[in-house]
Each structure stands twice: as structure tokens, then as C-alpha cells.
Chain A
Amino acid sequence: MWNWFDDRTWYPLGRVIGGTVYPGLIFTAGSIYRILHFFHIPIHVQEVCVLTAPLFSAFCALACYGLVSQARSHGAGLLAAFFVAIVPSYISRSVAGSFDNEGVAIFALVNVFYWFVKTVNSGSLADAVVLVASYGYMVMSWGGYSFIINLLPLYCLACIFFGRLNGRLYVAFAPLVALGTAISCSIPVVGFNAVLMSEHFGAFFAFIVLHVALLVSYVRRMLSTKHFVILASMVLTVAIALGALVASVVVAYVAKSPTLGWTGRSMTLLDPTYASRFVPIIASVSEHQPPQWSSYIMDLHMLVMLAPAGILACLHRLTDASLFLVLYGLTAVYFSGVMIRLMLVLAPAVCCLSAVALSDLVYVLCGSMRCWKPRFAFSTATTSDKASGEGGGEGASKASPAPGAASSPGAPSTKDVVAPSTPDEPTSVKKKTRSKVSAKAAASEASKLYALPFLVCATLLAMVLVILGLYVVHCIHASADMYSSPSIVLQSPRRDGGYYVFDDFREAYAWLRHNTHPDAKVASWWDYGYQTTAMANRTVIVDNNTWNTSHIATVGRAMSSSEAKAWAIYRSLDVEYVFVVFGGLVGYPSDDINKFLWMVRIGGGVYPEIKEPDYLTPEGDYRVDARGTKTMLNSLMYKLSYYDFAEESQLSTGQRGVDRVRGYPIGKLNVKLNYFEEVFTSQHWMMRIYRVRDRPLRDPTSRTGKKGKAANRRG
């Protein structure tokens, strides 16, 4: 696959698959297939592909369990695993049959976090090695790895800022930056971006700061305070001078590129209005739009409410791990607000935070209930009382045992936290003394022993159970309703309870597969590129791997040009068939007419003769009715969509020329095509295929009058 050059897509550029695809998913499925066949389990490769995503969603649940166990307790971990297992946002990518990067990448993401937190807790080099390996897998799987490589430095800086710097953090972070960068450099699709693009500068910066901070603390320990101050002032002056020099070089390098060295997608994240202004191709994807509020509820349900409580709970008893969870949650919330696709990154964060919140709540409630039955559980009462006090947010100690759910009191995971890791570090020494103090305080507070009334506890517990039940119901409903039907076959409910099925896409692709020459080139908007490649088995001009903007812009330009111009463009690309998706007859809203403005914008981004205002009414509306502009009504997209539409709409709906998506009569009923000919239109007119005509065999001349002849003479 590294060396696969695909000559059936992106004609005539071809596509270097190794350099334009994240190989993680394919390697994963391939290895599963090979391993199973090694053990003589005869399973078809398609079955492997179908089941990869569900398998990895199970792994993701395990990783979430591990992450929250590290951060809080096993009980919270179980809850987190439960939440993430059925959260609708993640189900959208982990249903059987979804073979998408995100299917394995979300697992890889959480896995990296798990190993990072584990390494921070344990300080073990072996864990760090696993962390680097899992980071490598993440880089292989998804472009979202840049989220990690920015979140971890952020965490690192936060630790330094809060005085939580210790050797364990160094063990976790330093190898990750050094080896992780080396690994990502050897993934072809990332390549030298791993050191050249600004996304990764944060990691290097934090790497340097970490070293400086460690050096400073080391030197401070070696010298007396007075000497240290003198040394610090000397070093600072030199450092500022040097730093200014380095900074100016870096700034000069960065400022050289128009996007300041950031890739377009990252700029979109930092500045949400960036894409709509400069990179229409990113903004045109519906997944890159900011989500609506309702989609938060739809995708996360009650977790939306629990997550802030989880942040509070984490901050109340701040450990290294819970600080990480808080940062993860906060950044993920921001990013998901920019792009709907990053809801996927948010989902595990919200699950983990909610699990922390809910487990704390349940712990308090259960502890209180236990207080009311001291006779039955006298032996455990003291510990549980103490823990319940902490669970209520009284104790601020990180040294105290983390409260588990009722099933696992006295979580053993806290052993790592208590153990002073590297005794020659002043911060951890300080922490140790502090923790002693706080432990004393906690003990005295625990003696206060205040608990909630039994009835309140029982009611609240019942409500928690009800909420959990509602969550399950919602998730099942959402996954059944939204994610269980293939997107290529549409259905609408009928009055008798059955479904009316729109199978136009497969119909049209089958037509292409059976009726066109195997070498024929098919042009369409890039949304349908992968489908055309896979289902029609024909060479396409552009597809969903949007690695070359100008080529897409060429197609967009053809669609927004007049017929003759578009014909010339398509001929120069050797295109034989063009198809458009049209929903005006049956009311399918995501058709090409509704996407057309994006084609205009993307085309106009590269070819300045395409101007967006030409396609809008003077009031700035986008309309295809009589008020639409002449350019709009003469564009190829309009013509291909509405060719013969007037007659058909009269026959099928009785309203001549009324577009059922737009809801008004179209602007020009009589559409004539000279350079294209209709060859196929699917049952509901959702796909219309046209052939690009050849040049005529003869060039007829019009008969001119005598005057014209003299003027038209040759030579």
C-alpha cells in the first residue's frame, strides 16, 4: 500500500495512496485478516472490514475504563466504559459496516491518553514505551493526532505552572515528543509536516520549557537562595537575548507562509471564521460546520449535564490525572463547538467526566445510606465515612484513597499516587508534606460525619437509575433511528407504516457499471467520488480525498460555467460522463443545486472569473427561480439538473416546473442542451447522467447573405 499508485481516481493526476491516506485503519483490518487466516479461520475480507469498527469501539470502552480508573477509581472507570459504549456520537462511527478512520482513531486517542495518564502516575519507562507506540498508532490512524500533540504539551505547561512538575511527567512527556515525532515523520502522509507545521511547535516548546524548568529546579537545589538569585538574573539576561534571536528566526520562518505555517484545517479550529473566508473546500463539508445545540443533546444526551459536574469533581480533588481529564474536556468542548466532526473527540471526554461526576454522586449517596445501617456494616463504617466526607468534596487530599463505587472501596490504584516517585525532587517532597497535612485535616473532618437522610438518598439513587435508563433508551433509539440505515439508500415512512425506498444512487451506479466503457471517465462533484469508484467501478476526476484543491476547483468551475465552456473543460479532462444529483422531483434536500454555491466558491477560489455575486440575486439570495441571475440560470449545473424537468414535474406532481426542495417554480423551464446529452435518469430523478458529446463529425456552416460572405472571406 505504501507504493500503490492509483490511476483510477483523480484523473489525470492519479493519487499516491501511501502519501494521502492514514494507513492505520487499513493496516488494522489487514492484520486482523492475516492473523485470522493464519489460524485457518476463513473469514472474508469484507466481513473483517465490517466488524473492525465495532471491535474497536469495544477496545475504546476498555481504554476509557483504564483512563478513568487511573484518574479516579475503578467504579468511575466502569461507568465511563458504560457511557462510551453506547454514546450515540461514537456509535455513528462504530456501527458495523462503518469503515472509517475515526472507527479506530477514537480508540487510539483514548488509548494514548490512558497510557499517558498511566505513565504520569507510575513514572515507569515501560509504560512510556507503550505510550509512544500507541501514539504512533494514533498518528497512523487519523489526522486528529494533532489534537494530542497539542493537548499533552498544554497539560505539561499547566503542570509546570501549577508546580506539579516531577520526574514522572518528564518520563511520560519527553520520550513522547522525541520518539513520537520520529515515528510520525515516517508515516508518509504526515512526513516532514511533523517538524515543519506549526501544529507541532507547541510540543517542542513545551519540551524545551520542561527541560528548562527541571534544570532550574535542579540548580536551585544545588545553590543557596542568594546565589540562585544572582545566577538567575544572569541567565535570564542571556536567555532573553538568545530567546529574542531564536524567536525572531522562528517568526520569520512562520510568517513566510500565508497561513503562518498552520494547515487549513488547524486554522479552522483556531479561528472558526477562517475556513469560510479562505478555504471553502473545508467549510463546504457539512461535518466541518459548527454543530447546532440540539446535536449536543442528540449525540451526548444527559452527559452534557453531567460533564461540567465532572469537571468540578475533578478540580475538587485535583490529581495529575484528573487535571488531565479537565484539560481534555475543556479543549474538546471548544473544538467540538467549531466542527461537528470533533464531537467524536468530545464524546470520550464527556463520558469520562460524567463518569467521575456520577460515581462521586453515587458514592456519596451509597456512603450516606451505609451510615444509616451501621449495625450491618460496622466494620467498614469508618473507612466509608471518611471516604464519604471526601466524596462530598470536603477533603482535598490527593494522598487519600480514591473513592470507588460501592463495589470497590479502597481502590488500589492510588498506590502509585502516594508513592513518592523520585525523592530527590523538591516539588514532590513538598507535596508529600502537604499531603500529610491534608490527610490530618481529612481525618478531623471525617469525624464530623454528616450524611444525607435515607429517603433523599434513596430518591436520588432511584433518579440516577432512571436517568441511566433514559440514557440507554435514548442511545438505542438514536442508533436505531439515525445510524442503522445505509446512507446510500434512502427511505421515507409511508402511511401504512412501511417504508418507501429511494434506491436511485445504486441504480445509477449500476447503470454506469454496466453501460459505459471500463475506461470511461466520470465527472461529478467530489462528494460522490468514492461511491463512483467503488460502486460504478469507473475512473473519477475528483473524490472525497480532497488532496488537490485546484483539481476540485476545475470541476467546480465547469459546473458553474456556461455549457460550451464546461464542455471544453470536460473535454480537456477526457471526461465522457457527467452526473448530477437532483432532488427537486422528490424533495431530497442535499442535492447538487443546494451544494452549488460551494462549487462556485471553490471554483472561484482558484479561477477568479467565477464570482459568487454573479450567482446571487441582487438582494444576496440564492435562488433558481425567475429572480435568479442569468449566470445562474445558464450554468451547467442548472441545465443538467433541470433539463426536461418542466414536463416531468407536470406529469408527476401536476405543478409545472415546481421544484419540491426549493418550493417554487424554477426560473427557466425550457432548458436546451447542445454539448451534453442525457443518457440516464434514475427512477426518482435523483441521479441524472449525461454524456459529453463528441465534436461533430462535420462542421455545417450557416448560409449567409452576400454581404456576410464578402466579410467572411478567407485569407
Chain B
Amino acid sequence: ARPIFITLVLLAALGVTSAGKSVLVLLQNANTADKYSKFFGSLRDYGFDISVKGVKDSSLKLKEYGTWLYDDLVLFAPQTEGFGGNIDRQGILDFVDSGHNVLLALNSDASESMRNLAAEFGVDVDDRGSKVYDHFNHATLNGKEDHTLIAGGDVVDAPVMVGGPYKEPVLFRGIASVIPGDSELATVALGAPSTSYSHAPKQAMLEPPSLMVGSAISLVTAVQARNNARVVVAGSLEMFTNDIFDAVVTVKDVSTHTANWAFTVTLARWAFQDRGVLVASNMRHHLLGSDEQPWGYRVNDDVEFLVDIVEVDGGVPKPFAADDIQLEFIMLNPYIRQPLQHDGNGTFSLRFKVPDVYGVFKYYIDYAHRGYSYVKLTHQVPVRPYKHNEYERFLLCAYPYYASAISVMAGFFALGFFYLYNK
């Protein structure tokens, strides 16, 4: 019952927030907001209520009287070591842990506190002063060839997260980061080209060279925490600026526009849970041929499981369609693991036969598709054995036993009869 409750709460929260989520943007200097006006303007067009403040503003606070004042936080202040007002690192972590989202942009001079903040989300940012270089896939902007302006970035194949596919390149100039190989929550939204590497030119090269190279580097990382809070760590602050949005660059002798505007805005909408949010509701199950939900089942019953899943996009729910949502029926081990069928209207269902094992089973859906919020449902349902009067009355294989029992009775009767009356 709890997952349903949570999803209902989530749905209610979405219902409220779609009216206009409030976003707090912290800049190094509040006067530089014009540099990002196109980015913010697009977000405002999508209904976000954006308030821009300087990171050292003494009136800053995320929470007042136990209520979060903002739904999302944008940190465009990579160099800052501390925050003004009541915000600190722990405050931001609590903000995320209570289900809110953070968009964090860094650059090569990002401060230690920003790196530590990124590390809290599972993103390991490279050392201060290092930059991503690529001598092959870089762009020429305004006639100036710059090997740190990466243009061949590898946009993740998840349209719900980043939009696309893009014909134009996504420009990037900034710092590299890595995510641990066993990370379950982080996704590389923009990967580095395989010819790139990360290096701090002012530092001596280690011998032998130990560089972060190629696809090991994540340029933009999207993290979705287990409570569906989302965090985006972008290694480049510059990629959000109007200059890059409007730039016409030359990549490999081809002149082209950039895809940064669409990419960053889509990614920000994803980060702010405006896209790719799945809401599961109305989980129900019943015996085939009956509509009411029973307390439990008997072994070998035929049952049907249904759940409604909608995808909320821009506050508007629409039926979700996917073939890879699996339902498990678990008691210690999954006895059944099968994909759910959907009917196009957002109702997912599966008919199956309860296994011939009794115990306390649970329905279990753990759907973690890249770009979508997690759907995790459990529902406990006991499966009981046959009652003593539910077995078959006569078994074919037992006929010899019936015969022997009846013959003994008949023989006893005959013997008794003769013994008594046949003197």
C-alpha cells in the first residue's frame, strides 16, 4: 500500500507544481544574468518561475519554517567557495534528499566546495585547472581555433532526457568528470569524443602519463537519485550562454549552428522533473473471471495484474507505452518475471498462473529506464495451499487402493456372514 501512497503523493505534488515550479538561480554575480537570458527565457516559456540571485546574497534561503521555498536550484556559480544567507552544502543535500532538483554547472576553475558537492551526487570532477582537450573534434568559433571547445560530443540516446537526435554539435568548454563504473544512478548525458583527454596545462605531466581519456570522460552527467530527485552536473558553464547558443562555428571545415539551446533547455526541463516522469497508480489484481481484489490466492490460480502508468510531460499526463516493464512475482526468488502488456491507454496488464508454491508472494515492479523516473511498486499477496476439501475427490492412480479397501470390507462382511450363519 505504501508505494501506491507514495505515487499518489507524487501525483499530488506534480499537480501542484505543474502550475508553476519555482526555480532559484544562483549566479556568481546577479548582474550577469543577461548572459543566460535565452536559457532562462525558454524555461520561463515552459512555465518555470525563475528568480535569479547572487550566490553571496545574504537573504538566501531554501527553506522557511519547514517548507521548501523552491522546487529546483540552479547553481551557475562554479568559483564560489561558500554561499550567502542560510544555504550551505548540507542544505543543498537535504534539498535533494527531499525530492528537489539541482542543475550544477562548473568550469575549469570550479571551487573545491563545488567539486565536493558534485561528488556527493556521485560525480567525480577532475582537478582544478584541468580542461578537456580534443585535437580532432573541436570547433572554430569566430575564426579562432580552440582545442578546448569540444564539438563532437556524444549525446546520450535518450530523447526524453536530452531531446534530439541533433544534427548540429553540442559545444562544450570546461572540465571533465568521471562517474564510477558501478554507478547505478548516474548517466552520461554528454560523453566526450574518444579522441579527447583531460589535462591541466600548468601542471607537470605524470610519468607515465595518467590521463582521463576518451569515453571515460563525462562532460555532462545526469543523476537521478533513488527518490527520483534529479541532479545535472555540467562541466561547462559556458554551454548555457547566449553566445554559444547563437554561435556559428566551424567544425572540420563545415560551418554549422550549435544544438546547445535545445540540448540544455531539454536537459534542464528533465532535471526539473518536467519531462520523463512516470506515475504509476491504481495497481490492482484479481482472479480471472472476477473483479474484486482478493486477500490472496490459491496455488495454480489464474490471475490478472493491472497497473496504470502515465508519463507526465510539462504537467500533462499522457499514457505511457513501453514493452520493457517487467512484473515479478517473488517469494525469496522470482517465480514469474514477464513483461507487462500495455493497451495504449496507459494500462499495463499481465495474466499468469500462480506457481504451485505457497507462501507470501509479492508483486514487484522495478522499472528503471534511462531518462524516466523510477517506478518501484511492491504489493504483498499471500498464496495459500489447497484447503483440505479442495483436492480432487477420486484420483485415477489411487484406484488400486480403493479396490483393496473395498475388497477387504467385502471379504470381512462375507466371512462374518458365513461365520455367523453357516454353522
A459-503 vs B: 1/0 string, CB under 8 Å? 000000000000000000000000000000000000000000000
Within 8 A of B (CB), among A580-625: none
- Chain B residues with Cβ below 8 Å from A410 are none
Given A701-B122, A715-B216, check contact A16 B358 (CB 8 Å): yes
Which segment of A54-62, A222-230, A704-712 sits at the interface?
A704-712
Whether A703 pairs with B185 at a CB distance below 8 angstroms is: no
Whether B388 pairs with A707 at a CB distance below 8 angstroms is: no
Which residue of B2, B180, B361 is within 8 Å of A12 (Cβ)? B361
* Shortest Cβ distance from B384 into A: residue: A5
State in angstroms the CA–CA spacing of A696 and B184 once bound together. 12
State in angstroms the CA–CA spacing of A651 and B395 once bound together. 71
Whether A699 pairs with B184 at a CB distance below 8 angstroms is: yes
A7-27 vs B: 1/0 string, CB under 8 Å? 100011110101000000000
* Shortest Cβ distance from B200 into A: residue: A706
- Chain B residues with Cβ below 8 Å from A702 are 119, 124
B218 at the interface (CB under 8 A from A): yes
Given A7-B382, A13-B359, check contact A710 B116 (CB 8 Å): no
A547 at the interface (CB under 8 A from B): no
- Chain A residues with Cβ below 8 Å from B206 are 706-707
Given A12-B331, A519-B380, check contact A700 B360 (CB 8 Å): no
State in angstroms the CA–CA spacing of A11 and B362 once bound together. 11
A430 at the interface (CB under 8 A from B): no
B155 at the interface (CB under 8 A from A): no
Given A713-B178, A714-B179, check contact A697 B229 (CB 8 Å): yes
Which segment of B27-35, B142-150, B207-215 sits at the interface?
B207-215
Given A12-B362, A519-B380, check contact A2 B387 (CB 8 Å): yes
Q: How far is the CB of B133 from chain A (nearest CB, A)?
A: 15
Which residue of B2, B225, B388 is within 8 Å of A697 (Cβ)? B225
B319 at the interface (CB under 8 A from A): no
B181 at the interface (CB under 8 A from A): yes
Whether B218 pairs with A12 at a CB distance below 8 angstroms is: no
Whether A701 pairs with B179 at a CB distance below 8 angstroms is: yes
Q: How far is the CB of B384 from chain A (nearest CB, A)?
A: 4
Whether A12 pairs with B359 at a CB distance below 8 angstroms is: yes
Whether B184 pairs with A3 at a CB distance below 8 angstroms is: no
B121 at the interface (CB under 8 A from A): yes
Given A5-B382, A18-B388, check contact A699 B358 (CB 8 Å): no
Whether A706 pairs with B127 at a CB distance below 8 angstroms is: yes
State in angstroms the CA–CA spacing of A591 and B218 once bound together. 53
State in angstroms the CA–CA spacing of A11 and B380 once bound together. 11
A40 at the interface (CB under 8 A from B): no
A375 at the interface (CB under 8 A from B): no
A448 at the interface (CB under 8 A from B): no
Q: How far is the CB of B418 from chain A (nearest CB, A)?
A: 19
- Chain B residues with Cβ below 8 Å from A712 are 124, 178, 180-181
Given A706-B206, A714-B178, check contact A12 B116 (CB 8 Å): no
Q: How far is the CB of B58 from chain A (nearest CB, A)?
A: 29
Within 8 A of A (CB), among B150-190: 178-181, 183-186, 188
A256 at the interface (CB under 8 A from B): no
Within 8 A of B (CB), among A155-212: 188
Which residue of A14, A700, A710, A715 is within 8 Å of B212 (Cβ)? A710
Q: How far is the CB of B119 from chain A (nearest CB, A)?
A: 5
Most chain A C-beta atoms within 10 Å of own C-beta, residue among B127, B210, B211, B213 = B210
Which residue of A2, A698, A703, A714 is within 8 Å of B216 (Cβ)? A714
B21 at the interface (CB under 8 A from A): no
Instruction: Assign chain A's interface to a size class.
Output: 20 to 34
Whether A698 pairs with B360 at a CB distance below 8 angstroms is: no
State in angstroms the CA–CA spacing of A715 and B384 once bound together. 47
A277 at the interface (CB under 8 A from B): no
A695 at the interface (CB under 8 A from B): yes
Whether A710 pairs with B124 at a CB distance below 8 angstroms is: no
B120 at the interface (CB under 8 A from A): yes
- Chain B residues with Cβ below 8 Å from A701 are 119, 122-124, 179-180, 183
Given A13-B331, A702-B119, check contact A5 B226 (CB 8 Å): no
Whether B385 pairs with A698 at a CB distance below 8 angstroms is: no
Given A714-B178, A714-B179, check contact A11 B360 (CB 8 Å): yes
Within 8 A of A (CB), among B358-411: 358-362, 380, 382-385, 387-388
B296 at the interface (CB under 8 A from A): yes
Which residue of A18, A572, A698 is within 8 Å of B96 (Cβ)? A698
State in angstroms the CA–CA spacing of A325 and B212 once bound together. 89
- Chain A residues with Cβ below 8 Å from B97 are 697-698
- Chain B residues with Cβ below 8 Å from A709 are 124, 126, 178, 212
* Shortest Cβ distance from B121 into A: residue: A698
- Chain B residues with Cβ below 8 Å from A517 are 2
* Shortest Cβ distance from A188 into B: residue: B388
State in angstroms the CA–CA spacing of A188 and B388 once bound together. 10
Q: How far is the CB of A289 from chain B (nearest CB, A)?
A: 33
Whether A14 pairs with B178 at a CB distance below 8 angstroms is: no
B224-236 vs A: 1/0 string, CB under 8 Å? 0111010000000
- Chain A residues with Cβ below 8 Å from B13 are none
Whether B123 pairs with A710 at a CB distance below 8 angstroms is: no
Whether A697 pairs with B226 at a CB distance below 8 angstroms is: yes
Whether B124 pairs with A704 at a CB distance below 8 angstroms is: yes
Q: How far is the CB of A603 from chain B (nearest CB, A)?
A: 17
B131 at the interface (CB under 8 A from A): no
B12 at the interface (CB under 8 A from A): no
B115 at the interface (CB under 8 A from A): yes
State in angstroms the CA–CA spacing of A608 and B375 once bound together. 37
B98-139 vs A: 1/0 string, CB under 8 Å? 000000000000000001100111111111000000000000
- Chain A residues with Cβ below 8 Å from B387 are 2-3
Whether A12 pairs with B185 at a CB distance below 8 angstroms is: no
State in angstroms the CA–CA spacing of A574 and B360 once bound together. 11
B332 at the interface (CB under 8 A from A): yes
- Chain B residues with Cβ below 8 Å from A14 are 358-360, 382-384
B interface residues with partner A (beta carbon < 8 Å): 1-2, 93, 96-97, 115-116, 119-127, 178-181, 183-186, 188, 206, 210-213, 215-218, 223, 225-227, 229, 296, 330-332, 358-362, 380, 382-385, 387-388
Known: A698-B185, A699-B184. 10 other contacts (CB 8 A): A2-B388, A5-B358, A14-B360, A698-B120, A699-B186, A701-B179, A701-B180, A706-B206, A709-B126, A714-B178
- The 7 A-B pairs at the shortest CB distance, nearest first, are namely A713-B216, A5-B384, A7-B382, A3-B387, A12-B360, A710-B210, A699-B122
Could you show 30 A-B contacts with beta carbons less than 8 Å apart? A2-B388, A5-B296, A5-B382, A7-B296, A7-B360, A12-B359, A13-B331, A13-B360, A14-B382, A695-B226, A698-B121, A698-B122, A698-B223, A699-B180, A699-B183, A699-B184, A699-B185, A699-B186, A700-B121, A701-B122, A701-B123, A701-B124, A701-B180, A701-B183, A702-B119, A707-B210, A709-B212, A710-B211, A713-B178, A714-B188
A interface residues with partner B (beta carbon < 8 Å): 2-3, 5, 7, 11-14, 16, 18, 188, 517, 519, 572, 574, 695-704, 706-707, 709-710, 712-715
